[in-house]
Amino acid sequence: MLFRQLECFLAVARLGNLSRAAEEMYLTQPTLTARLKALEEELGEPLFVRTSRGMRVTEAGREFLPYATRIVGGFEEGKRRLEELRGASGGRLRIGASPGVGTYALPGLLERFAAAHPRVSISVRTGHSEAILEMTLREEVQLGLTRAMRHPEIESLPLYDDELVLLVDPGHRFTRRGTASLTEIGEEQLIFFDHDSSYFEQTHALLRNAGIRELRTMEVDNIEAAKRMVEHRLGVAFLPRTAVVRSVSAGNLVLIAVEENPEMSRSIVALKRRDVPATGPVAAFLEVADTMGEKRDAAQLSPSLATEFENLQLIDLFT
């Protein structure tokens, strides 16, 4: 009620007339007068003097006027900001992303999001999956983009599946045939990236399950370094598909189909606290990501992954 009283005070102070102020605020004059009286009682000072020319603000009223203006103005600005948030026409989007997602998938998603919602401020933090989960739990980020993870307070919203694919340099012995068996792969020097990544364990498990125990390896701490090592003929590597589309298209790397056709993929999801509804910029970003996922699925309908790359039919949707 106090806020409505302040609105009445400002209207009468601006118009200097009770009836015009009541009409502007869609109130009866007795209701308007009652609100002014209640405000004066709350403040302990008269705010107006009735004259033959209308209502004149008292000295106390003039002192109080800028404070009332700031209160009402701040409330209206707050309302506008909330409307912007609901419509994703303003506000801030805070995202956490694992290194691979943040480097290869997120830029393309944000390009499309920013084009549709240019007034939304965006901040991005990166870290390994466990760190992204903690950021999401502590509400340091609104969404965490990483591999699927379970937590009772977290909801996982699917974004896309990212596969591990075998890459070699263009002059490699596997290139002419375009395929290789796991046994043949085990004879090569294998370049592994990021010991803490789930891809690291996935690749090791694939080779162990194929009975390959002795490996010649080179370990680096990021995907870009692994790509460069392969380009310089230092070995072969299993790398996330989203990370190599441009390199394959440019002819710097060659994709080799694994004859055993093993399932090597992981789901990339958006982590969100269950008790925080997806509204405003968060809802808008998820809508963009969902649309991109549908397009990516359509691009994956060709019969083999190798053919997709060789014919450049896999659209680079995320970079």
DSSP letters of 75-103? Answer: HHHHHHHHHHHHHTSSSEEEEEE-HHIII
Greater model confidence, 179 or 194: 179
CATH number (3.40.350.10, 1.10.10.10, 1.20.1250.20, 3.40.1400.10) of 2-87 reads 1.10.10.10
Tell me what pLDDT residue 307 has. Answer: 41
How far apart (Å, rounded) are the C-alpha atoms in residues 319 and 312? Answer: 15
272 pLDDT exceeds 80?
yes
**What pLDDT is stored for residue 315 in this prediction?**
39
Task: State the span(s) of the chain assigned CATH 1.10.10.10.
Answer: 2-87
Domain with CATH 3.40.190.10 in the chain: 92-160+266-302, 164-265
In this prediction, residue 227 has a pLDDT band, given cuts at 50, 70 and 90, of: very high
Q: How far apart are the first and last CA of the chain?
A: 53
Angle at 270 between CA 121 and CA 195, to 5 degrees: 105
pLDDT (tens digit per residue) in 151-164: 999 999 999 888 89
* CATH code for the domain defined by 92-160+266-302: 3.40.190.10
How far apart CA 42 and CA 62 sit, in angstroms, is: 16
**Is the torsion defined by CA of 19, 24, 26, 27 positive or negative?**
negative
What's the CA gap between 164 and 162, in Å, rounded?
A: 7
CATH of 164-265, one of 1.10.10.10, 3.40.190.10, 3.40.47.10, 3.90.1300.10: 3.40.190.10
Query: 98: alpha, beta or left, given left = phi > 0 and alpha = psi -120 to 50?
Result: beta
pLDDT at 293: 58
Average pLDDT, the chain: 86
User: Nearest Cα to 47, choosing from 80, 11, 103, 9?
Assistant: 9
Q: How confident is the model at residue 300 (pLDDT cuts 50, 70, 90)?
A: very low
Model pLDDT, residue 89: 59
124 and 97 Cβ atoms separated by less than 8 Å: yes
